[in-house]
């Protein structure tokens, strides 16, 4: 008897997470360029092909939460009710920060993670590309929610400003952690200042 779809999906998600966790640990310990896919597969107890089934590129093993982030944003925009698209996005970010979601978790592990990224030219380049892709995807989702074409400049402006706010706020939270200050407070302070700027810039549009 085959496994039901729900169980199969759960097993796939668990396998994907296990591979990602092993890869991240090895990358942090030894550096991105010094770890091979074969080593990751052996450490995770899976075949090399299985690793590529879940992660088409080696860099995808490092930045493995982008699809989860997209899904969270899509869900928030779809269920926003009377909220504007930008305010729904902002409410989601506040909730993730308050709930200490892994995407925004600030402790020693993300510090080591970002040091690993900074030490690898390949990962730095991939991070820049991914940031642009996520901004483009967010612009498309905001435009769709507002009933505007994906080329709408206001959607692109909103997405760029929101993404920059998140990047700066996250970086400030990491710095606060290193300096033994309150990272959540640092994150929230920059986040709210950035959101105020977004709301002012987009005033009078369909997005706020």
What pLDDT is stored for residue 8 in this prediction? Answer: 82
Whether pLDDT at 208 is above 90: yes
The domain made up of 66-201 is a member of CATH 1.10.357.10: yes
d(Cα 101, Cα 117) in Å, to the nearest integer? 21
Computed over every residue of the chain, the mean pLDDT equals 94
User: pLDDT category, 198, cuts 50, 70, 90?
Assistant: very high
Do the Cβ atoms of 126 and 59 come closer than 8 Å?
yes
Q: Name the CATH superfamily, with its identifier, for domain 5-58.
A: Homeodomain-like (1.10.10.60)
User: pLDDT category, 31, cuts 50, 70, 90?
Assistant: very high
Task: Please give the average per-residue pLDDT across 35-43, as a whole number.
Answer: 97
User: pLDDT category, 139, cuts 50, 70, 90?
Assistant: very high
What pLDDT is stored for residue 9 in this prediction? Answer: 82
- pLDDT: which is higher, 7 or 130: 130
What residues does CATH 1.10.10.60 cover in the chain?
5-58
Whether pLDDT at 184 is above 90: yes
Distance of alpha carbon 189 from the chain centroid = 20
What pLDDT is stored for residue 7 in this prediction? Answer: 79
Task: Please give the average per-residue pLDDT across 124-142, as a whole number.
Answer: 96
Distance of alpha carbon 105 from the chain centroid = 11
What pLDDT is stored for residue 5 in this prediction? Answer: 62
User: pLDDT category, 145, cuts 50, 70, 90?
Assistant: very high
Around Cβ 163, how many Cβ atoms within 10 Å? 18
Task: Please give the average per-residue pLDDT across 113-134, as a whole number.
Answer: 94
Do the Cβ atoms of 3 and 88 come closer than 8 Å?
no
What residues does CATH 1.10.357.10 cover in the chain?
66-201
Question: What pLDDT, in 10s, does the model give residues 90-110?
Answer: 999 999 999 999 999 899 989
Give residues with Cβ within 8 angstroms of 3, minimum separation 6: 11
Do the Cβ atoms of 202 and 158 come closer than 8 Å?
yes
Whether pLDDT at 4 is above 90: no
Structure tokens at 163: 């993404």
């Amino acid at each position: 008897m085959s496994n039901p779809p729900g169980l199969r999906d759960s097993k796939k998600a668990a396998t994907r997470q296990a591979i990602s966790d092993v890869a991240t640990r090895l990358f942090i310990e030894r550096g991105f360029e010094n770890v091979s896919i074969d080593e990751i597969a052996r450490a995770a107890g899976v075949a090399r092909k299985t690793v590529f089934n879940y992660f088409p590129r080696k860099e995808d093993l490092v930045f493995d939460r982008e699809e989860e982030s997209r899904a969270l944003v899509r869900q928030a925009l779809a269920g926003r009710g009377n909220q504007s698209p930008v305010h729904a996005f902002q409410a989601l970010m506040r909730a993730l920060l308050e709930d200490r979601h892994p995407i925004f978790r600030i402790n020693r592990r993300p510090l080591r993670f970002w040091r690993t990224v900074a030490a690898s030219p390949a990962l730095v380049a991939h991070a820049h590309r991914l940031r642009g892709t996520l901004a483009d995807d967010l612009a498309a989702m905001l435009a769709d929610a507002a009933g505007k074409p994906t080329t709408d400049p206001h959607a692109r402006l909103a997405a760029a400003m929101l993404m920059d706010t998140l990047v700066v706020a996250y970086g400030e939270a990491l710095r606060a952690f290193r300096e033994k200050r309150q990272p959540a407070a640092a994150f929230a302070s920059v986040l709210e200042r950035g959101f105020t700027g977004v709301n002012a810039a987009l005033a009078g549009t369909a997005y706020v």
